[in-house]
Chain A
Amino acid sequence: MIARAHHPVNQGGVRSEPALPVVPGLDLALSVDNVARFGGDPRRYVWALTAALAADPGLAPSRDAMLAVTSVAAWRAGVLGIRADALTWLPQLRPDVAGAVLGLPADALRAFGSGQAVDRFYWPLRPVESTQPFARLGGFVGLGGPWEFPPTEPVTEGPGRWTVLVGTARWRLEADLFGHLLGPVGPAVPPSPGAHERITAQLVVRPTSFLADVVPWRSA
């Protein structure tokens, strides 16, 4: 089996192709394009929107409520850059709606919100002692990944942020539970994550793999 980059929280995937709902006053089609532009999965985004509107059809007329839904849905679809905004909107959503968007039972939402505030990889449905990766990143260029060489020499920069050496170039990897971004290290240093966040994951690379695994932190 060929292993590819993925986030296990998405396992099962989005199989159906739901139709994009129509909401007066909001150009949802544009937001789908932007989710793709910001590195998210547009299908999962549409799926999350549809689930939210199915849970509460009365959401559509409220612009604020829909902004909250779209923000959380975009985060759930893998838009890493919207994480902070989505966490701000999340408490304003009804638990059943938020649960539908995230794919969580409504009664797990409180734990999810408080857990995510300190641990960007927290997921209430994940067994506490699980050693499975939170995410597998990168991959061989010939199989759709970005790298020609296996990643080496991982360096932790902060919660959910690492650099690795790929060939002769150093790459920066940023990830959370739902999404990730990869790119060669440039002159710009990204801003620090939230002050409350803890380093809860580490990056593991192997000479035999083009994938870098984000796994639970284990002190040496």
Chain B
Amino acid sequence: MTNRWSAVSKAPTLPVGSPPATGLTAADLFKPAEEAVTTLDEKLRRAYFWLVNKAVISPFYDVEFGSDTAVRFPLGDAGAYLTLPKEPAYSSNVLVPLLAFAVGGRCLLIGGPGRGKTTLAVLMGVLGGAPPADVRRHVQQGQPQLTVSDLVGIPLPRDLVAAGSLAEITIAWKSWLTGRVKIIDEYNRIPTKTQSALLTMVAEGYVESHDQMRKTAPEHGVQSWYFTANDDGGGGTFPVIQALKDRMDVTVQAFGFNSRFLDELVTRVEAGDRPEDNLPAELVFTTTEQVAMVDAIRALPVPDGVRRRLEFFVGQFEFVQHGGRRFEYRTKDVVATAGLDVGHVIDANSGADLQVDLGAQTINGISVRTLQTLVLYAKAVAWFRGNEEVTLEDVRAMVPFALRGKLLPNGTHPRFDTVADKELTSDQASWLTDLFDASGQQFVALELDQDDPVGQLLAEFNCGLDGLAALDVSRRLTTIEARIATMSGVGKIYGRDFDDLVALKYLYQRYSNYLHWLEGGRR
């Protein structure tokens, strides 16, 4: 049946190549245009366009590409700009949850009540092939009395009376546990103990009750999690345990309603229908398709140049000058685990320019888990855009969503006191993008794209030690010492140098160990 929901974007959604400049014949004039094969990325794009054009009223195109060619208009007197990118831009509160669906990830949707967070999550469930009524029924509503049994199921009362041991108790597991898309509404209203049970499910893929275990991650296939919360600052009925918070791959802000689209809302009120009940069947992803989609996304290459930029960015944040005595211990994590205020320790560093040292803007570094997430979502958005490999813009686009709540601002940094940047304290997404851009500018200014001595030393080492003569090893050891001496001679040290120095020491040790072995063999 055709209705106002049923129109799906025509394939291909990306521009096709120009017509051939040679090789056409008269017979080609009478061949029908080949039907574009709907690849999985094409299907995901069509799903996105259906969601953003039909299902969710979200005219906020904040994930932009091609910033170098965008037109900018200053607005008001507070430094606001409206940018009009030439390349396609996307609405983050649809795109990011959709990417979480594509990679089988965990997405936190934040925003005030009535902003479509749950609707969007339900749509993801329907996209995964579940009937809309089931998806709605399986939404777990966070509330202060939610127990572990409420969440996962109860032991059968008959067994509780008759069982001689825990092993004899049968648990009536809730059916939502094995769904491909799991939705937890208002997770910051769930009691701490129940949050811990949730953490086991999210992190380990199983749940335990009365010594019985049930796997929640599908044996074959992909599962995605959607959490909603109306507060991201630690509020809510119960504070969210940090470990659960850390498991959120991406955090995305649900936008408000744009009043210029009230006519669509009126139509929905009059029709009394819901988008999830009208998802076109051709957009539903089968289990096999989802598995293939994850494989394709993971396989997308990250070119060396992009990886190097990301390395440089990530390397800025772990180091803090007065964090410890030994060089390797001068990290924010050492300070934080000692129960000290990282902001104060950063403040104590009078030797470096806090404006230049990007690491001074954060109170922590980027964890391995977060970094993996950033890489995975950069691959996902690159694949979604039809790229053959990950570009710097793909990474940049995902930075605010993958690092939000993970890379935390240092509130005592002078930047946040200036009038021009005051708003960045509330707008983490813009601050994170700004950090990434500033890191890129430093990378270019330091000409690391042309000359990367530490990278060259690492590449040389990665060629292997087999057959390397003692003289060559000694020569390389001298080069490493010379490099460290150069960095030492500068007199100041920034976060960006920390990883390089640790890597240089690593190389030095590997070479000297090898040299010891070589010399030992001779004796």
A residues whose Cβ falls under 8 Å from a Cβ of B: 26-27, 30-31, 33-35, 37-39, 67-68, 70-71, 74, 79-85, 89, 148, 167-168, 174, 181-183, 186, 190-191, 193
Q: Which residues of B contact A74 (CB under 8 A)?
A: 24, 26, 29
Q: Return chain B residues, CB-CB under 8 Å to A85.
A: 24-26
Chain B min CB distance to A155 (Å): 17
Q: Does the CB pair A30–B32 fall under 8 Å?
A: yes
Which partner residue on chain B sits nearest A71 by CB separation? B26
Given contacts A79-B24, A81-B24, A85-B24, contact A183 B29 (CB under 8 A): no
The contact sample of 17 A-B pairs, CB cut-off 8 A, is: A26-B30, A34-B31, A38-B20, A39-B19, A67-B27, A81-B19, A81-B24, A82-B25, A82-B26, A82-B29, A85-B25, A148-B69, A174-B21, A181-B18, A181-B21, A186-B17, A190-B22
Q: Is the CB of B26 within 8 A of A190?
A: no
Q: Given that A37-B33, A167-B69 are known contacts, is A82 also in contact with B21, CB under 8 Å in the complex?
A: no
Given A30-B32, A167-B69, do A38 and B26 touch, yes or no (CB 8 Å)? no
Q: Are B30 and A82 in contact (CB under 8 A)?
A: no
Which residues of the other chain, B, contact A31 by a CB distance below 8 angstroms?
A: 29-30
Q: Which 3 A-B pairs have the closest CB atoms?
A: A71-B26, A81-B24, A31-B29
Residues of A within 8 A of B69 (CB): 148, 167
- Cβ of B233 under 8 Å from chain A: no
Tell me, rounded to whole Å, the shortest Cβ–Cβ distance linking A181 to chain B. 5
Given A27-B30, A31-B29, A82:B18 Cβ within 8 A: no
Task: Report the bound CA distance from A149 to B341 in whole Å.
Answer: 53
Most buried by A among B21, B28, B32: B21
Who on chain B is nearest to A176 by CB? B21
In angstroms, Cα B17 to Cα A186, docked, is 10
Cα A82 to Cα B24 with chains together (Å): 5
A79 to B25, CA, bound (A): 10
Known: A34-B33, A181-B18, A183-B18. A89 touches B23 (CB 8 A): no
Residue of B nearest to A190 (CB): B21
Within 8 Å CB of B33, what residues of A? 33-34, 37
B87 → chain A closest CB, angstroms: 12
Does B30 lie within 8 Å of A38, measured CB to CB? no
Known: A81-B23, A167-B69. A34 touches B28 (CB 8 A): yes
Task: Please name all residues of chain A whose beta carbon is closer than 8 Å to the beta carbon of B22 when the two chains form the complex.
Answer: 80-81, 83-84, 190-191, 193
Find B19's partner among A33, A37, A89 (CB 8 Å cutoff). Answer: A37
Residues of B contacting A186 with CB < 8 Å?
A: 17
Q: Which residue of B lies closest to A175 (CB)?
A: B21
* B93 shortest CB reach to chain A, Å: 30
Looking across the interface, which residue of chain A has its beta carbon closest to that of B86? A148
Do the beta carbons of B21 and A81 come within 8 Å of each other? yes
* Residue of A31, A35, A167 contacting most chain B CB atoms (<10 Å): A31
Chain B interface mostly: loop
Task: Please give the distance in Å from B22's CB to the nearest CB on chain A.
Answer: 6
Enumerate chain B residues within 8 angstroms of A26, measured Cβ to Cβ: 30
Q: Is the CB of A38 within 8 A of B24?
A: yes
- Give Cα distance in the complex from A193 to B23, angstroms: 11
B25: nearest chain-A partner, CB-CB: A85
Contact between B26 and A80 (Cβ–Cβ < 8 Å)?
A: no
Within 8 A of A (CB), among B2-30: 17-30
Residue numbers in B under 8 Å from A182 (CB-CB): 18
**Chain A: minimal CB distance from B16 (Å):** 10
A residues within 8 A CB of B27?
67
Q: Choose from A30, A79, A190 the contact partner of B30 (Cβ within 8 Å).
A: A30
Residues of A within 8 Å of B26, CB to CB, are: 67-68, 70-71, 74, 82, 85, 89
> Which residues on B sit within 8 Å (CB–CB) of A35?
29
Docked Cα-Cα span, A84 to B19, in Å, equals 15
- Fill in one digit per residue for B187-221: 1 if any A CB lies within 8 Å of its CB, else 0: 00000000000000000000000000000000000
Inter-subunit contact B19/A181 (CB<8 Å): yes
How far, in whole Å, are A144 and B353 apart by their CA atoms in the complex?
A: 50
Q: Is the CB of A82 within 8 A of B28?
A: yes
Residue of A nearest to B20 (CB): A81
Which partner residue on chain B sits nearest A34 by CB separation? Answer: B29
Q: How far is the CA of A181 from the CA of B21 in the complex (A)?
A: 7
Closest A residue, CB atoms, query B27: A67
Docked complex Cα distance between A34 and B19 (Å): 10
Q: In the assembled complex, how far is the CB of residue A63 from the closest CB belonging to chain B, in whole angstroms?
A: 10
User: Contacts of A34 on B, CB cut-off 8 Å?
Assistant: 28-31, 33
CB distance from A107 to the nearest CB of B (A): 26
Nearest-Cβ distance from residue B78 to partner chain A, whole angstroms = 30
Alpha-carbon distance between A39 and B21 when the two chains are bound, in angstroms = 10
With a cutoff of 8 Å between Cβ atoms, the chain B residues found around residue A174 in the complex are 21
A168, closest chain B residue (CB): B68
A215 to chain B, nearest CB (A): 20
- Chain B: which residue is nearest A192 at the CB level? B22
A79 — which chain B residues lie within 8 A by C-beta?
A: 19, 24
The winner among B23, B24, B32 for most chain A CB atoms within 10 A is B24
Chain A minimum-CB-distance residue to B18: A183
Which A residues lie within 8 Å of B24 (CB)?
38, 74, 79, 81-82, 85
A186's closest neighbor in chain B, by CB? B17
Q: Give the docked Cα–Cα distance between A63 and B24 (Å).
A: 18
Contact of A39 among B18, B30, B32 (CB under 8 A): B18
Q: How far is the CB of A7 from chain B (nearest CB, A)?
A: 16
A89 to B31, CA, bound (A): 19
Q: A38 with B25: in contact, given A26-B30, A30-B32 (CB under 8 Å)? A: no
